[in-house]
Amino acid sequence: MIDLDKEMAWVTFLDNGWETKWFPVLCPITRRHLEFDSETTMDHCRIIFNNDDNWVSFGIAPTSQMVIRNSVRDNL
């Protein structure tokens, strides 16, 4: 369920429904949905999705922008 009163972190992928499919950004330890912060969310996603063997193009957004299909930051 999406709570429109909270700005949670969401990620979308260039090769999987860019700005039409969104996935919650989860804490790897607690598996809880993280609150959005532009810097920490982007750093977290870079660690999770990009490494020496893999490069994934993604965008991030808080809930209010995700619902209007707008990634506010990306790594393109």
Length, in residues, of the chain? 76
Answer yes or no: is pLDDT of 66 > 80: yes
pLDDT band of 7, cuts 50, 70, 90: very high
The answer to whether 48 and 34 are in contact (CB under 8 A) is no
The answer to whether residue 4 sits within a structural domain is: no
Average pLDDT over residues 14-32: 95
pTM above 0.85, yes or no: yes
The count of domains in the chain is 1
Percentage of the chain with pLDDT > 70?
Answer: 100
**How far out from the chain centre does Cα 51 lie?**
17
The answer to whether residue 63 sits within a structural domain is: yes
Answer yes or no: is pLDDT of 72 > 80: yes
List the domain range (segments joined by +) for residue 18: 9-74
Answer yes or no: is pLDDT of 55 > 90: no
The answer to whether residue 2 sits within a structural domain is: no
